[in-house]
């Protein structure tokens, strides 16, 4: 079958690889119907050292169940399913607590395993991992439902871990797909005031449609000053950090209100929290982490099915599987917000 | 009047200073009945650069109201009161949220103001700050009630911000007075398993009496290993960081369970969070900060009055006001756990 392999920074290829096949009784094989490129794929695309054997790519996909291991229950061939970006048994203590990213028998796609940016995927722990989608394979809702695999749940995780509710003011740092998902999530959780920090007008315009009440286009110190102006110097109760750079976490600390919380979900590219975190004993909570998407899918899906949220609008570029390299280029060059892949 | 002034590392003196007196209509003057030396006083005692004019010391005290400004209501001369270590109006938005340490009209004792380690204190925002104690001036409960001014509330804040309840396992890092208070608080909130990390046997023995179920005397990597052994490799849901050093926060990150929370209340002597905080997107919450003692006094006081908790047992050394320098020496030399001052 065909699948995407990254060999190093800027070097992503679509190649013939062994067909996805059942190896364990708990596996399924899913034929990919829709996949996409993640903002986090751009980190290795920007900096991965060259590798002779390459790394399989893609951790967001939905598709049709084609084969099932003998122990998998509750699924049948032909089911349309979405996969969260980490697989999990969904029965261990961590999974029962809603932290499937720490599942005792879980793991992530790609690397040595099949990735979502290919024709098919072997899915370990299929029963715990895959969630049926109650729509047809040609539904117009598929792009929105695909966001349940990662980006929408990641934005939601930021909002949940930062304690967003109807009484909180919210800052969202970043106007990428995670940031815009965080806007959707904050709005959905009832926040009446959502300040979106981002400098790409087309993206922040979409952010306004998703629920942002104010946009701060200024960056760095200017952006922090502007946010303080807009909040009477206090900052906001919740800050959703959706970028992952040192600048972004510094900004988050600077704009969070005393007693507030930061939900950080931007894939962290920094190694040190801001010095303020240590030397000043401010009552600020740093929370977040890699999102347990599996925990949120059932909660968020009805809002998509019933049209209350439309996260699929973030896909502004579509490529075929063989054109994936151009999709990476478009996202890395900021020409595309998020790239949909139709194998 | 006599009061304690610190002039630099190791140089603490008891001197004549101007009498405490009303300056604002919202002030009170309190004659100090009982005060103490805080572990945080040892940081300047160990490292404060020499200062010609010195710094007034002491932020934990209880005493008798002697004078009241014209705007202070709800208090009368002769009332026995305890003061939290930060004063506050107790009416602003932060105070109403229980974050009196961020009060819009608040501040801390000492420095240019009167400190608790003296004969009397001018108390700003007296109506919001002072809490009446329903016991006589010679009550045997006074040492325990004095801990409401800081150390008990600080331990409680660690437990609250780390989400301690009956379902959480708890690690307490540090066997000083804050750590032992955190043990009391964790036990009080229902935690059945409390692992106390500390290497002073007399202190950890008291910790066991307060509710610690296990003691880990090993330090650094050995201590972390031991804790992992005791928790099946998972760590604990809550970690109460009651020291404030880089080692302590590193240990906290290393022993917190995925999905868990760290309540950090040790006065931070470090400037960087551990690298793991940034590079690994673990779902770990870092919370805590300077404790809003005022928010907790009414909740904790009944447990002292009714004998359910005895935090006053941490005072193992008593000095007169003039002997305060020897009290500092005893605490700095680890001969005393916590020093009571009777002016």
For the stretch B216-244, pLDDT in tens is 999 999 999 999 999 999 999 999 999 98
Residue B271: the pLDDT is: 66
What pLDDT shows up at residue A272?
Answer: 66
What distances in angstroms separate CA A275 from CA A246, A254, A272, B270, B271, one per listed residue?
A: 11, 11, 8, 8, 5
Q: Which residues of B touch A286 (CB under 8 A)?
A: 277, 285-287
Pair B167, B205 in one domain: yes
Segment among B28-42, B270-284, B315-329 with least mean pLDDT: B270-284
Cβ atoms of A263 and A288 closer than 8 Å: yes
Kindly state whether A279 is in contact with chain B, defined as any CB-CB distance less than 8 angstroms.
yes
Chain B nearest C-alpha distance from A150 (Å): 15
Same domain, yes or no: A65 and A173? no
Q: Is the pLDDT of residue B12 over 70?
A: yes
Q: Are residues A19 and A141 in the same domain?
A: yes
pLDDT band at B119 (very low <50, low <70, confident <90, very high): very high
Any idea of the CA torsion for A261, A102, A107, A37, to the nearest 10 degrees? -10
How many A-B residue pairs are in contact by the CB < 8 A criterion?
A: 99
Taking CB atoms and an 8 Å limit, are B259 and A102 in contact across chains? yes
Residues B25 and B128 in one domain: yes
Q: Which of residues 242-261 of A touch B (CB under 8 A)?
A: 249, 258-259, 261
Per DSSP, the residues of A258-270 read: EEEEEEE-S----
Query: Chain B partners of A102 at a C-beta cutoff of 8 Å?
Result: 258-259, 283
pLDDT tier at B290 (50, 70, 90 boundaries)?
confident
> Which two structure tokens, joined as six digits, stand for A95?
């999974």
Instruction: Say whether both A183 and A321 belong to one domain.
Output: no
CB contact under 8 A, A272 and B275: yes
Per-residue model confidence as pLDDT tens for chain A (343 residues):
999 999 999 999 999 999 999 999 999 999 999 999 999 899 899 999 998 889 999 999 999 999 999 999 999 999 999 999 999 999 999 999 999 999 999 998 877 789 999 999 999 999 999 999 999 999 999 999 999 999 999 999 999 999 999 999 999 999 999 999 999 999 999 999 999 999 999 999 999 999 999 999 999 999 999 999 999 999 999 999 999 888 898 899 999 999 999 999 987 777 666 656 655 678 888 888 888 999 999 999 999 999 999 999 999 999 999 999 999 999 999 999 999 999 8
Q: What is the CATH number of the domain that holds B238?
A: 3.40.50.720
Based on the fold, state whether residues A8 and A142 are members of the same structural domain: yes
pLDDT, one tens digit per residue, over B75-99 is 999 999 999 999 999 999 999 999 9
User: Quick one: residue B78, left, alpha or beta (phi over 0 = left, psi -120 to 50 = alpha)?
Assistant: left
CATH classification of the domain holding B37: 3.90.180.10
Q: Residues B220, B247: contact at Cβ < 8 Å?
A: yes
H helix runs in chain B, sequence order: 42-47, 93-96, 126-129, 142-146, 151-161, 177-188, 201-210, 220-230, 246-255, 276-279, 293-305, 324-332
Most B-contacting residue of A247, A283, A296 (CB-CB within 10 A), to test interface: A283
Residues A146, A15: one domain?
yes
Would you call B318 helix, strand, or coil by DSSP?
Answer: strand
- Tell me the shortest Cα–Cα distance from A173 to chain B, in angstroms: 17
Interchain contact, A286 vs B272, CB within 8 Å:
no
Taking the C-alpha atoms of residue B184 and residue A310, their distance in angstroms, rounded to an integer, is 49
Kindly determine whether residue B272 and residue A268, on different chains, have CB atoms separated by under 8 Å.
no
- CB atoms < 10 A from the CB of A140, how many? 9
Interchain CB distance below 8 Å, A271 and B278 = yes
Which residues of A, range 283-302, sit inside 8 Å of B by Cβ? 283-290, 292
List, for residues B128-177, the tens digit of each pLDDT value: 999 999 999 999 999 999 999 999 999 999 999 999 999 999 999 999 99
Q: How far apart are CA B292 and CA B151, in angstroms?
A: 11
**Which chain A residues are within 8 Å of B264, Cβ to Cβ?**
281
Q: How far apart are CA A271 and CA B276, in angstroms?
A: 7
Cβ pair B290:A271 closer than 8 A: no
Backbone angles phi, psi at A15, to 5 degrees: -135, 170
**Hey, what are A286's tokens?**
């740093």
Residue at which a domain ends, from A288, A305, A325: A288
pLDDT at B97: 94
Are B19 and B113 members of one domain? yes
Question: Which DSSP category does A90 fall into?
Answer: S
- Say whether residue A94 is in contact with chain B using an 8 A CB cutoff: yes
Decide the pairing of beta strands B28-36 and B339-342. Answer: antiparallel
Contact in structure between A37 and A327 (CB atoms under 8 Å): yes
Task: Burial-class residue A50 by CB neighbours within 10 Å (0-12, 13-18, 19+).
Answer: exposed
- Asked whether residue A10 falls in the same domain as residue A45, the answer is yes
Q: Which of B161, B278, B283 is closest, CB to CB, to A273?
A: B278
Inter-chain CB proximity A281 and B268 less than 8 Å: yes
What's the gap in Å between the CA of B153 and the closest CA on chain A? 14
- Per-residue model confidence (pLDDT) at position B138: 96
Q: Cβ–Cβ of A281/B259 closer than 8 Å?
A: no
Partners of B136 in the beta sheet?
A: none
B161 — contact with chain A (CB < 8 Å)?
yes
Q: What's the gap in Å between the CA of A48 and the closest CA on chain B?
A: 16
Best CA proximity match to B165, nearest among B260, B291, B252 = B260
pLDDT reported for residue B246: 85
| CB-based contact, A280 to chain B, within 8 Å | yes
Same domain, B171 and B251: yes
Number of domains in chain A: 2
**Final residue in a domain of this structure, among A288, A314, A329:** A288
Q: Is A142 helix (H, G, I), strand (E, B) or coil?
A: helix
Which of B288, B305, B327 marks a domain boundary?
B288
Same domain flag for A89 and A204: no
Per the prediction, chain B carries an average pLDDT of 94
Shortest Cα distance, chain B CAs vs residue A256, angstroms = 13
- How close, in Å, is residue A40 to chain B by CA atoms? 13
Q: Does residue B144 contact residue B56 with C-beta atoms inside 8 Å?
A: no
E strands, A25-153, are 28-36, 55-56, 61-68, 80-83, 86-87, 107-108, 120-123, 131-132
Kindly state whether A86 is in contact with chain B, defined as any CB-CB distance less than 8 angstroms. no
- Domain check: are B127 and B91 in the same one? yes
Q: B271 vs A279: CB contact, 8 Å cut-off?
A: yes
Give the pair of three-digit tokens for residue B229: 């052994």
Closest CA to A289 of A197, A151, A163, A161: A161
pLDDT for B266 equals 82
Q: How far is A36 from chain B (nearest CA, A)?
A: 22
Residue carrying structure tokens 């010679």: B138
Which residue in the set B258, B279, B290 is minimally distant from A268, CB to CB? B279
Return the SS3 of A339.
Answer: strand
Q: Which of B167, B277, B293 to mutate to test the interface with A (most CBs of A within 10 A)?
A: B277
Residue to substitute from B158, B272, B293, interface A, most A β-carbons within 10 A: B272
Burial class for A70, CB neighbours closer than 10 Å (0-12, 13-18, 19+):
exposed
Q: Scan for tokens 């439902």, then name that residue.
A: A145
CB contact under 8 A, B268 and A279: yes
| pLDDT confidence of residue A281 | 75
Nearest Cα to B314, choosing from B288, B292, B283, B336?
Answer: B336
> In 3D, which of B342, B263, B314, B291 has the Cα closest to residue B108?
B291
The domain containing residue B27 runs over which residues? 2-150+292-342
Which residues does chain A have within 8 Å of residue B284's beta carbon, measured at their own beta carbons?
289
**Interface check B108 vs A, CB under 8 A:** no
Among A154, A271, A287, A292, the strongest candidate for a mutation testing the B interface, having the largest count of B CBs within 10 A, is A271
Do A285 and B286 count as a contact with CB atoms less than 8 A apart?
yes
ipTM over 0.85: yes
Contacts of A235 in chain B (CB under 8 A): none
Structure tokens at A38: 């993640």
């Amino acid at each position: 079958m065909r699948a995407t392999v990254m060999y190093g920074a800027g070097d992503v290829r679509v190649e013939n690889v062994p067909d996805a096949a059942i190896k364990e009784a708990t596996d399924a094989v899913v034929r990919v119907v829709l996949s996409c490129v993640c903002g986090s794929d751009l980190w290795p695309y920007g900096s991965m050292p060259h590798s002779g054997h390459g790394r399989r790519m893609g951790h967001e996909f939905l598709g049709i169940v084609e084969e099932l291991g003998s122990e998998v229950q509750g699924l049948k061939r032909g089911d349309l399913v979405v996969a969260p970006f980490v697989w999990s048994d969904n029965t261990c203590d961590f999974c029962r607590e809603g932290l499937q990213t720490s599942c005792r028998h879980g793991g992530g796609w790609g690397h040595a395993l099949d990735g979502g940016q290919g024709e098919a995927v072997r899915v370990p722990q299929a029963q715990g991992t895959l969630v049926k989608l109650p729509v047809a394979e040609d539904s117009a809702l598929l792009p929105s439902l695909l966001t349940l695999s990662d980006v929408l749940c990641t934005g939601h995780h930021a909002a949940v871990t930062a304690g967003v509710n109807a009484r909180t003011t919210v800052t969202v740092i970043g106007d990428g797909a995670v940031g815009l998902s965080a806007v959707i999530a904050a709005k959905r959780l009832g926040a009446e005031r959502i300040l979106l920090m981002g400098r790409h007008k087309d993206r922040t315009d979409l952010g306004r449609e998703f629920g942002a009440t104010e946009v701060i286009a200024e960056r760095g110190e200017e952006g922090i000053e502007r946010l303080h102006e807009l909040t009477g110097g206090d900052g906001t109760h919740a800050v959703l950090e959706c970028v992952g750079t040192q600048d972004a976490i510094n900004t988050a600390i600077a704009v969070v209100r005393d007693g507030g919380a930061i939900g950080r979900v931007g894939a962290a590219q920094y190694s040190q929290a801001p010095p303020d975190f240590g030397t000043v004993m401010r009552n600020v909570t740093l929370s977040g982490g890699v999102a347990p998407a599996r925990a949120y899918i059932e909660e968020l899906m009805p809002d998509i099915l019933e049209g209350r949220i439309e996260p699929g609008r973030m896909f502004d570029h579509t490529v075929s599987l063989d054109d994936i390299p151009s999709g990476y280029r478009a996202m890395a060059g900021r020409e595309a917000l998020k790239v949909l892949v139709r194998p």
